[in-house]
Amino acid sequence: MPDISSLRFPARVACTAALRNARAAGPSFGQLLLFAFAATLLLIRAVQASPQGSIQVSAAWARATPPGISVGAAYLLIRNAGAADNLIRVDCPLAEHVEMHSSTLVGGVMHMRPVTDLLLPAHGELRFAPESLHLMLLGLKSPLVAGEHVPLVLTFKSGVHVSADAVVRGLSEGGPSE
């Protein structure tokens, strides 16, 4: 029998009754309908508990690149409504490779270094912004043009994959404010 222990009382009663009645001497149309309803409630509950639903990406954007330049940058905000996870990889079909980088200002000089694993705290966020954490799009297959979109797929240590669509902004434009 499916696990219905996490459902609230009315849904649990409906599921239990539907399962008990379905085992009787052949289900009627009403019983099948009730069973389908109960199964739908279970599915909705499972999706709501899914870790993928707890990680949301917003404010994704990339800076336009001049012709002949094969490196670009993208920025975004990741919010987590669930348990802590680690961002371990980002993919983009428009680039040969994507690296996560952090930038720090030391003695008046900006230092950029690759990062392979970023903690997304439980009920917290990660902000990728200019002169901070950012995504380096390496080996661009064509220039990033203002108004176009850059598809990104973020992979987390838990196995969750989250897609994002970054809007390309002009060279002199800033990112969205949040």
Residues 15 and 30 in one domain: yes
Are both 38 and 85 inside the same structural domain? no
Quote the number of domains for the chain: 2
Tell me the per-residue pLDDT of 63-107, one tens digit each, with 9 for 90 and over: 999 999 999 999 999 999 999 999 999 999 999 999 999 998 899
| Dist. CA 169–CA 129, nearest whole Å | 13
Residue carrying structure tokens 């949301």: 56
Q: Check if the beta carbon of residue 118 is closer than 8 Å to that of residue 161.
A: no
Does residue 136 lie in a domain region?
yes
Same domain, 19 and 89: no
Please check whether residues 107 and 22 belong to one and the same domain.
no
Residue among 171, 174, 175 at smallest CA distance from 146: 171
Q: Within 13 Å and on the Cβ side, how many CA atoms surround 36?
A: 7
Are 21 and 66 part of one and the same domain? no
pLDDT of residue 150: 98
The pLDDT of residue 24 is 57
Position 177 in a domain: no
More confident residue, 139 or 27: 139
DSSP per residue, 35-77 = HHHHHHHHHHHHHHH-GGGGEEEEEEEEE---TT--EEEEEEE
What domain range is 132 assigned to?
A: 53-169
* Claim to verify: residue 97 and residue 144 sit in the same structural domain: yes
Q: Say yes or no: 59 and 138 in one domain.
A: yes
- Encode pLDDT of 111-156 as tens digits: 999 999 999 999 999 999 999 999 999 999 999 999 999 999 999 9
91 in the same domain as 19 = no
